[in-house]
Amino acid sequence: MSSIKFQKHVLASSIAVALIGSVSSVSAAEEAQAAEKKIEVIEVTGIRGSLKKNLNAKRFANAVVESISAEDIGKFPDKNIAESLQRVSGVTINRGFTGEGNEVSIRGIDPQLTQVQLNGNFVASTGWFSQSANNRAFNMDLMPSELVAGVDVYKSPQANIDEGGVGGTVIMRTRKPLDMDANTLFASVEMNSNSLADDEGTGVTGMYSWKDESETFGVLVTASTLETIGRARKAENYWEEGWSASGVAAFDQDRTRDAIDVTAQFAATDDLVLTAHVLSLELDAANTNQNMLAYNGCCGPWNSNADNGGFGGTYTSTGRLAEGANGLPLTGSVTNINGLAQDTNTRRANIETTVAELSADYEGDGYSIHAKIGTTESDGGNGGNYNGLWGNGWTTGPVDDGIVVEFDMDLNDTMYLATPGFDTTDPTSFAHLGSSIARTELSDEESYAQVDLTFDVDLGAISSIETGLKIRSHEFTQNQLNATLEDAIVTDISEFADGNVNDFGEVMASGSISSYVKLNGSKYANFLDSKVTGWVQQDPTWGEVEEDIISTYVQGNFEGDGFRGNVGLRYTETELTGKAIGPNGVISVPGDYSDWLPSMNISIDLADDLILRMSAARVMSRPGYSQLTPSVSNVNPTSYTANMGNPDMDPFRATQTDIGLEWYFNEESLASVAYFTKDIKSFVTSKQETISFEDENGVVRDWRVTVPAQGRGGNVDGVEFQYQQTFGNFGTIFNYTYTDAKAENDAGDIIQLPGNSRNSYNLTGYYENDMFAARVAYTYRSDFLAPGTAIANQLDTNDEQAFLDANFTWHATKNIDITIEGINLGGEVVYARHSGGAQTLRTAVDNGSRYFLKATYRM
């Protein structure tokens, strides 16, 4: 833990310039085992066929597993894989800026502790929002659902699965040409819209799988492009924070995702199959975020007004006072406020991810060998954050022209912010106060090699023994460059105006600002690009984490009369180096740890249709990159906040147990209940430290720096219930999960773990016949803590959330389907609240409802 002291020194001296396991061959259905038991082979067609296969996968798995399979080629249950996973018992999701699911939480554990793999191996991904933490959670926005044949959610580990999932492990599976009919063809065209937008997005996907007559060589190619329309209209209340501003925000993102997936297989002999897989994903996540802000006290040159404790303006209070850093009234009005401005940020964000691997599978006499080498790499970042600040009459001091701002920051589900007598839609009212470009660059890369052996044995109940070795080399890098600009000043915002921003009725109280000038972000970014004279490396933000990981395991698979399962032991050793740029050059901070991870899974057939399932294991997850990198990140010169990491942190560690009963009262129906617990031995939390230093202008500033802290431990206890049944052409699926998660931070205080909702449930109803299929799904989760999109580097308390989705498919011909899908049909608004102080509403976010129309052809 010695690097924290060093990190403070690095910050104080430089922040001012910083403005692989064998699971790839193992599916949840344990297909080889199922074949030996002569389990019915199921052809997946439609909703019922898919659910029947999912049920079989769960029933005959050796571990605690849930599975989702595509209803047909190119038809996953939801447009977004994360949103399909939220239908699984014990799984909840976090949603991104546009309301789409992008992170998965299993059994109340933080999403960054969910391991997501592709065909049994890590897949690299990076983020695009410069103020988000860099963690190991896979960005689900990157993965087209059409590429995925199925997804397995392992709630209990096996020794032959890569370590890293304290919450659980999600394994996405793609198709292979030798497993498919020759000349299989799939093609689709689609369009989508958002209730908050006038634009439409379009997409095209094509897949073709071929193999020769001898069925020894095959190639599968999938290509996809999709533009989606994302919107957010937000009330953002930071009134009781140190910088004390609140705003009416609009986030627009029309993103395009391109994917190419190629798999080739060659059966060299009857016993040897060689497979090559290449995947390329690119996400153009360009976006513009505008915020009509009322500044109280801030940190720019206009903060010279010393009235009211330095927060500017003359206040009339009609309600209680904030409990935060300033004690301002939460309800009232202010005259001559420090600033009324538009803060605009356009980001040319882009993420590219690639996977390339070669594998060999050999079946010998009484043994098998699986070997694989591969690499995955992702490059991303914000592509340049083009910031513009536009205010009323500002030059170098505060506004003093009698502007009145009325406010009420003490409402339950809206915010009131009004400017009587001032027209926010007049572009000539907003002078250009300043601009900047800050470009973040992120890269994530892992190379891996593994070999796994399985031996058939006759050792009593033990029928086979698996063992293997995996070596991984991982490198993550972050960096920031700031542009130097020349003559980047214009008169007002009218030169870049593009109509008005509207649709705030769901998040702003009646009488509030309801419309203001819309910035053409692309035009403004082009203007700033033309003024760039150079780029300056921001040394304090540069950081690198290098990890060398070696893992080995042994696992025994056993079965007998009425029971089956596995018992194993996995050993993993991690050596890492965190690098940063200090006052005298690059410094390196080492770290290392090792873990012995035993696991046991057993299933007992109490009757032909009743299974008792038990499991126990020790699990671990490595800290996120932001927690490990000893450099500065998320630097915000507005609020004087930043993050720093520490390579000398222990990983998340826990011991977990699970016991459950599963009743399969017919081949398409299930009722089950399970109790689970996780005894958390160590975890990584965060704390804020105040660091004072003198900046380049000789001004002493206090920065609030969020640093990782080693938590003392805790517990997660919960119960899951599942019910699934068909009634002729109708069917229903219901699951409910209760989790209670608490832990002690480094100071010994009891805290709630991020990502944990005490109650969550999913209810799905469907109807299907030969002509059409329809499904309605309702998803609910109770309140939970999660990192906010605010600038204070703290967790927000998120209110309960409920979403209603539906889709309808018409089988127009034997080969053609027409599908209509609606997401968030109830127009759910998402609320987050300050977790401290007066606990007022922090954000209210309306993402609108999304609609998709899709035509598919299969042959």
Judged by phi (left if over 0) then psi (alpha if -120 to 50, else beta), residue 90 lies in left
Q: In this predicted structure, what is the pLDDT of residue 25? A: 37
- Most distant CA atoms of the chain, gap in Å: 89
State the Cα angle at 459 between 456 and 465, rounded to 5°: 40
Structural domain including 177 reads 3-858
What total number of domains does the chain contain? 1
CA 313 to chain centre: 41
CA 816 to chain centre: 34
The tokens 């992702």 sit on which residue? 378
Beta carbons within 10 angstroms of residue 291's beta carbon: 19
> What does the DSSP assignment read for 121-161?
EE-------TTS---S---GGGS-GGG-SEEEEESS--TTS
> What does the DSSP assignment read for 308-325?
HHHT-SEEEE-SPBP-SS
The CATH number that applies at residue 324 is: 2.40.170.20
SS3 628: helix
Q: How far is CA 454 from CA 25, 146, 368, 392, 570, in A?
A: 12, 32, 5, 72, 15
Kindly give the pairing relationship between strand 700-711 and strand 641-644: parallel
Q: Which letter, b or e, does each residue of 669-698 get, where b requires 16 or more Cβ atoms within 10 Å of its Cβ?
A: bbebebebbbebbbbbbbeeeebebeeeee
Which element (helix H / strand E) includes 473?
strand 462-485
Rounded Cα–Cα distance for residues 268 and 275 (Å): 11
Q: How far is CA 71 from CA 48, 203, 499, 569, in A?
A: 8, 20, 44, 36
Structure tokens at 605: 């057939």
Rounded Cα–Cα distance for residues 659 and 675 (Å): 5
Report pTM.
Answer: 0.88
Structure tokens at 53: 């296969």
Per-residue HEC secondary structure of 178-247 comes to HHCCCCEEEEEEEEEEECCCCCEEEEEEEEEEEECCCCCEEEEEEEEEEEEEEEEEEEEEECCCCCCEEE
Contact 296, 305 (CB under 8 A): no
Structure tokens at 28: 């949840």
Rounded Cα–Cα distance for residues 192 and 622 (Å): 38
Kindly give the pairing relationship between strand 784-787 and strand 713-727: unpaired
Rounded Cα–Cα distance for residues 548 and 573 (Å): 8
Contact 274, 265 (CB under 8 A): yes
Rounded Cα–Cα distance for residues 538 and 441 (Å): 11
Q: How far is CA 264 from CA 123, 209, 216, 222, 518, in A?
A: 19, 10, 11, 12, 49
State the Cα angle at 343 between 785 and 227, rounded to 5°: 70
Closest to 351 (Cα-Cα) out of 260, 277, 258: 258
Rounded Cα–Cα distance for residues 760 and 438 (Å): 40
Residues 6+ positions from 230 with CB-CB distance below 8 Å: 97, 98, 99, 100, 194, 251, 252, 253, 254, 255, 287, 847
SS3 784: strand
Which residues does residue 64 pair with via DSSP β-bridges, in sequence order?
none
The tokens 């057939």 sit on which residue? 605
Q: In this predicted structure, what is the pLDDT of residue 796? A: 80
Which regions in the chain score pLDDT beneath 50?
1-44, 298-311, 393-400, 790-793
Rounded Cα–Cα distance for residues 836 and 433 (Å): 33
Rounded Cα–Cα distance for residues 235 and 834 (Å): 13
Which residues does residue 740 pair with via DSSP β-bridges, in sequence order?
717
Name residue 2's amino acid. Answer: S
Backbone phi, psi, residue 36, to 5°: -60, -35
Q: In this predicted structure, what is the pLDDT of residue 696? A: 54
Rounded Cα–Cα distance for residues 407 and 329 (Å): 9
Contact 319, 332 (CB under 8 A): yes
Which element (helix H / strand E) includes 625?
helix 625-628
- E-state strands within 5-119: 65-69, 91-95, 101-106, 114-118
Closest to 236 (Cα-Cα) out of 734, 842, 684, 690: 842
Rounded Cα–Cα distance for residues 163 and 115 (Å): 8
Answer positive or negative: Cα dihedral of 147, 149, 151, 152. negative
Structure tokens at 479: 């960096």
| HSE value, Cβ hemisphere, 13 Å, CA-based, for 63 | 27
Answer positive or negative: Cα dihedral of 702, 708, 710, 713. positive
The tokens 């020769």 sit on which residue? 212
Contact 468, 455 (CB under 8 A): no
SS3 719: strand
